[in-house]
Amino acid sequence: MRWALIGASTIASQYVIGAIRAQADGEVVRLVSGSAARARQYAADHGIAESGTDLDQALSDPRVAAVYVSSTNEKHHEQAMAAIAAGRHVLCEKPLALTLEQAQAMVAAADAAGVVFATNHHLRCSGSHRAMRALIAEGRIGRVLSLRLFHAVHLPENLRGWRINDAGAGGGVIPDITVHDADVARFLLGEDPVSVVAQMASTGMGDGVEDSAMSVWAMPSGAMVMSHESFTHPFAGSGLEVHGTAGSIFARGVMTQRPVGEIELVTAAGREAVAYPDHDLYAQGLAEFHAAVRGEGRPAATGRDGVKSLAVALAVREAARTGTRQAVDYGAGA
Ligand code: NDP
């Protein structure tokens, strides 16, 4: 399957181009950027034959079957809608859009066009998260009481542009990391947050956008989720804990782009290390996307999953902004 990339991005360069090329039939044939010079340089650096600034031209290339959108967040909606209108399958970066309405429109358009539309929530592709999900689903920890997500990172220097100073581009830690945590909670627990309370702050990096957030989410089952995201924590490490009536799962270093981290299951029987497959997260996501295009199953995270993670993130920001508990609005038909 031949791909066009929209966005001369770091994530494509570090992970997704390689993940596409890891597929037996995966090829990157075009790149679209907002700048002709950047397009040329990026294409040369990554061995992409065609590049330019004309989205319509790329989308009219009959070789292009699928499009990966990894531009800044405010561009996702328009670019994905154009790709869908051109009948292309789309893998879109998170957050799908800046508003719920835009994200819903993308899903509706893809449904109407009969194309695969997926969200690049990589964490649910990891062997570690899949192993934890299986433990929970098998009842190994009993009824889930609570989930604590630790996702406070130290944003690398090269990613400190629009993310920390441009609200218009969709900057801020909530659209950047809270969306991932919302997807993790939904994936692990198999239910969607109902309401949230939250605080956000600028603790050293954020300039006009929040660089830190803490929130508590109520789940339909009665379980509670506590979530912490930040750009400013050099030594916090990442992880999660799931506590149930019959056991607890402790996972360290698992909120990452690489297949690393340790998981421990603690029950009345004692403590045991949990093994998991260490495949590449992005290649796994791409494999499931390619399979979905072949008519075999669904992508790892669908467009609807992207709508829901965005809905939670929007509720967290609104709860923090207003200081009030917010019901999560998933929109009509969710
Ligand atoms: P980057 O900042 O690297 O790239 C975003 C855009 O910025 C590019 O499309 C490019 O625009 C422009 N750009 C890149 N380099 C320069 C430069 N030197 N000068 C001027 N403009 C430049 O973003 P990321 O790769 O970090 O993120 C892109 C998207 O991917 C976001 O939506 C983000 O949320 C998501 N993401 C997802 C991850 C995941 O694991 N799912 C991880 C990281 C990011 P143009 O295309 O016009 O050239």
Residue 182 CA to residue 149 CA, distance in Å, equals 10
Residue 104, pLDDT score: 98
Instruction: Return the residue whose CA atom lies nearest to atom 48 of ligand 1.
Output: 33
189 token code pair: 């627990």
* Greatest Cα-to-Cα distance within the chain, rounded to the nearest angstrom: 62
Instruction: Return the residue whose CA atom lies nearest to atom 35 of ligand 1.
Output: 93
Asked if 12 and 68 touch (Cβ cutoff 8 Å), the reply is yes
Q: Please, which residues bridge with residue 238 across strands?
A: 151
pLDDT digits (tens, 9 = 90+) for 219-239: 999 999 999 999 999 999 999
Asked if 290 and 25 touch (Cβ cutoff 8 Å), the reply is yes
Residue 334, pLDDT score: 67
Instruction: Return the residue whose CA atom lies nearest to atom 28 of ligand 1.
Output: 70
Residue 271, pLDDT score: 98
Distance 13 CA to ligand 1 centre (A): 9
pLDDT digits (tens, 9 = 90+) for 41-93: 999 999 999 999 999 999 999 999 999 999 999 999 999 999 999 999 999 99
Residue 126, pLDDT score: 98
Report H helices in 28-126. 36-46, 55-59, 76-85, 100-113
Residue with tokens 């600034």, as numbered in its chain:
53
Distance 138 CA to ligand 1 centre (A): 38
Distance 199 CA to ligand 1 centre (A): 27
Mutation pick for ligand 1 pocket among 51, 72, 96, 121 (CB with most ligand atoms within 8 Å): 72
Residue 272 CA to residue 96 CA, distance in Å, equals 38
Residue 285 CA to residue 126 CA, distance in Å, equals 9
Mutation pick for ligand 1 pocket among 10, 32, 209, 309 (CB with most ligand atoms within 8 Å): 10
177 token code pair: 């990391």
Distance 269 CA to ligand 1 centre (A): 47
* Closest CA relative to residue 126, chosen from 263, 310, 14: 263
* Closest CA relative to residue 151, chosen from 92, 96, 212, 94: 212
Q: Which residues of the chain have pLDDT under 50?
A: none
Which residue segments constitute the domains of the chain, with CATH numbers given? Answer: 2-122+283-300 (3.40.50.720), 124-279+310-327 (3.30.360.10)
Amino acid at 331: G
Residue 32, pLDDT score: 98
Residue 232 CA to residue 212 CA, distance in Å, equals 8
Which is the closest atom of ligand 1 to the Cα of 39? Answer: 48
Helix (H), strand (E) counts: the chain: 12, 15
Instruction: Return the residue whose CA atom lies nearest to atom 19 of ligand 1.
Output: 38
Which is the closest atom of ligand 1 to the Cα of 15? Answer: 40
Asked if 110 and 117 touch (Cβ cutoff 8 Å), the reply is yes
Residues with CB under 6 A from ligand 1: 7-11, 33-35, 38, 70-73, 93-94, 120, 122, 159, 161, 176, 257
Distance 154 CA to ligand 1 centre (A): 17
Residue 332, pLDDT score: 81
Q: HEC states along 207-270?
A: CCCCCEEEEEEECCCCCEEEEEEECECCCCCEEEEEEECCEEEEEECCCCCCCCCEEEEEECCE
Mutation pick for ligand 1 pocket among 5, 6, 11 (CB with most ligand atoms within 8 Å): 11
Within 13 Å of residue 96, how many CA atoms lie on the same side as its CB?
Answer: 30
Instruction: Return the residue whose CA atom lies nearest to atom 18 of ligand 1.
Output: 38
Asked if 264 and 255 touch (Cβ cutoff 8 Å), the reply is no
Distance 94 CA to ligand 1 centre (A): 11
Contacts of 252 (CB under 8 A, 6+ apart): 237, 238, 239, 261, 262
